[in-house]
Chains A and B, each alone.
Chain A
Amino acid sequence: MKLELRGLAPGTRLGVLAGLGRSGTRAMEVPGCLLYTHCGSVPHLTHDTLDALGRLPAVTQLPLATVAEHQEVLEAFREGAAKLAGLHDTVLFCSLQDPAAPCPAGYNTSKSVSLWSAAGRIELTVPKYVAMQAAVRPDWYQSLADGDAQPAGSSLKRVRRSVERTLTHLDECVLLHQKTAELVGAELFGVVEGADVREERVRSARETAKRPVGGFVLDGFQSGVMDQALRAQLIAAVTAELPRDKPRLVLGVGRPDQVLSCVEGGVDLFEGFFPFVATERGCALCFRFAMEPDPESAVQEQNGVTEDGGSSRTEDPEHQDLQQMTRFEMNLNDRRYRDDLRPLVVGCGCYCCRNHSRAYLHHLLVTKELLAGVLLMLHNVSHYSSFFSSVREALATDRLETLKSVVLGV
């Protein structure tokens, strides 16, 4: 794996992660988001519908939480989770928790981390964790981490312990990784913890960077955990300590405004769960990201995406985006779409917008039909990955400020 960055303004990063996967032939542009899956399957979608999306992210994310209960099956299969899931041509990143599911704190010990799967809580020691990863056979995986220390209410002592434990887990992961035949060629990502304590963040980053890791996972910046200004400061402090040539992936950040802030702070990779959480509440992503007043965005304005998005009216506490609609979405459950025969986003080229109307989506939601989730997911994944293309374009042409004002609608 090699990160090739283009020479840009200091702080910002734009480039290509090349030589990915066990074969070393895949590449991914950064900043970018991963393809979010449950058990190796993009929620609601089958492969034919997924193919309709066209260009997919080169890296697929598999939260271990969604596959942990099938360890025995994977061990019997012996060829890894990607192949079991029918993913033939992808780079698999196995993370720990499911970013779209609740992950209660307070269950980690000095020796173990709790994983929240559909079947309940699973206590993972490092050997158990590495054995699971051996069954999954990812191309990348994160080391086991104690991400329990939440900014609100965690004592300095607890934060230090979390950093300490995570480094110990990493050292143990590195040792076991080297001894595990199934993980030969896989990249281990070290996890940076430290909650909202700047010194601990810096220490965690420095110490992790000393270990033989392929990249970095920034934990504890989840939307629900801290506000944007603090996140931006801490991320800048952390990335300053990390080597330039290794990718940085932030966990649990999905809102477009927060993504942009992280990009400014030097983050390369994002989890792709945001389109899914919007889908689950019956919402379609409709925020604007076209920087030119081109014909497409002109129609977008005409069709009142911003007005319909409900942004100005909705209270938008930015820490509630897992539970509540954000200003970047339109809620298709709303009766106002009952007879609205326009596509979700006028000018959008996704399968859903090319073929179906808001009224049809409203009908599918009202009648609780499964196709609602399929079509919303298709649109949302497509919209979100186009947003990331736009982010890269803005970086390439030095127009990130312009993009920010378009996305934020100011």
Chain B
Amino acid sequence: MAASTVGEAEMNSASRGAIAGAPLVLRILAECPVSKARACDMTLPHCTVNTPVFMPVGTQGTMKGVTAEQLENLGCQICLGNTYHLGMRPGPELIEKAKGLHGFMNWRRSLLTDSGGFQMVSLVELSQVTEEGVKFRSPYDNKEILLSPEQSIAIQNSLGSDIMMQLDDVVSSTVTGPRVEEAMRRSIRWLDRCIAANRNPESQNLFAIIQGGLNSELRHICLEEMTKRDVPGFAIGGLSGGEEKDDFWKMVTLSTDHLPREKPRYLMGVGYAVDLVVCVALGCDMFDCVFPTRTARFGSALVPWGSLQLKHKQYAKDFQPIDPECTCPTCRRHSRAYLHALLKCDTAALHHITIHNISYQLSLMQSVRQSIIDGCFPQFVRAFMDRMFPSREQYPRWAVDALASVGITLN
């Protein structure tokens, strides 16, 4: 049952997984003999990250109400900061003075920063894209700001993240026509400008972002061009923006088919449990999403069979923990009934649920990883789906198809 593990020589020699000149070493520990899933150790300047990994999002240099120490105790090895937000407030000068984002938020492990480009989609009414970059009007002081590839990297260099993302020209995944190709081609040109602008190539990794919308041909071109560049890792971008799931998974699997085996693959903006498990099967290593922490703040706790809306009256006298099998600090001490009551009077209730949800995401990925190492990932996927859905009829069609495409059959 052992997975086709990588040869001993490679396991023992970290340098074999090193990417020329970049501060990143990827060791592939195991690959699923059936699907494209793989388990790796990705060594970054601040710590080694076990993949597949879910990265919680700490937009403003904080993980909501969770302290850095709590996050570390949950086993989190890497989290995200948002360049757009941190660049606006408190600004790169202060963060640099505070010894980077690590020092400013006092986080000892790895950090990934986005480019600020995603805000082109989410704050589009405030922005205008030209070849030079993205023009924003600051919502804080109404000043016009140009976010160029050089500027984005300069800010990310000040933040000092372990992984920086290139500035890409993001178009909504539901947009079609020539704008998609323009954005893809511009993203390639901007990648070159980002690579040239990186002041710290020996301590900060720069990842490329594959674009091309939902058009396989454009994705192909982008993959072909970007994989010619010697970047330490690749992200699959432009998805998770409201497109059909059928289109989504096909773009993911097409991308992993063409990405180099020896470099990490980061699928941006994906965080629902089913999506995570399916996309691991499709060969992705890294994921991020605001969903688990955002939904916690609405009182929603994630469980292996879906979620619990703890504000609902049905939990008022339910004295079980959120998930009786969960070992997170919240589930070890508190009941659904107490959290239901506390939600009415103190924000600590949100912190309890946030901690549980982060713990849920991290331990899901830990189980995924262990099953890959143990060579039983397909069985894991079947058990996971069985627990998540009341019956096989309720399995989402796209997930069944996506898993079948990599040899994991569910029914």
Tell me the A residues contacting B by CB distance below 8 Å. Answer: 38-49, 52, 66-67, 69-70, 72-73, 76-77, 84-86, 118-119, 338-339, 341, 351, 355-357, 359-360, 362-364, 366-367, 369-371, 373-375
Contact = CB atoms under 8 A, between A and B. Distances in A.
B69 interface: yes
Nearest to B340: A73
Contact of A338 (B61, B94, B330, B342): B94
A122 to B, nearest CB: 14
Interface of B: 60-70, 73, 85, 89-90, 94, 97-98, 104-106, 316-317, 319, 329-330, 333-335, 337-338, 341-342, 344-352, 355
Identify the interface centre among B61, B319, B345: most chain A CB within 10 Å of its CB: B345
A237 to B, nearest CB: 37
Greatest chain B CB density within 10 A among A77, A338, A367 is at A367
Given A118-B345, A360-B105, A363-B89, 10 more contacts: A48-B70, A72-B317, A77-B337, A341-B97, A355-B69, A355-B106, A359-B90, A360-B98, A371-B63, A371-B65
A38 B344 CA distance: 10
B348 A41 contact: yes
A374 B90 contact: no
A355 B347 contact: no
B338 A374 contact: no
A84 B316 CA distance: 12
18 contacts: A38-B348, A39-B341, A41-B346, A42-B348, A46-B329, A47-B329, A48-B70, A67-B341, A86-B338, A360-B106, A367-B89, A369-B60, A370-B62, A370-B350, A371-B63, A371-B66, A373-B65, A374-B67
Q: Which of A41, A85, A355, A359 has the most CB of B within 10 A?
A: A41
A357 B337 contact: no
B69 A363 contact: no
Given A39-B341, A70-B341, A77-B319, A47 B346 contact: no
B346 A43 contact: yes
B343 to A, nearest CB: 10
Contacts of A47: 329, 333
Given A46-B351, A48-B73, A359 B94 contact: yes
Contact of A49 (B60, B70, B335): B70
A44 B65 contact: yes
A369 B62 contact: yes
Contacts of B94: 338-339, 359
A359 B66 CA distance: 18
Contact of A371 (B62, B338, B345): B62
B226 to A, nearest CB: 34
A334 to B, nearest CB: 14
Contacts of B73: 48
B346 A38 contact: yes
A66 B346 CA distance: 10
Contact of B344 (A69, A77, A338): A69
Given A52-B69, A341-B98, A370-B65, A44 B90 contact: no
B246 to A, nearest CB: 38
A2 B169 CA distance: 72
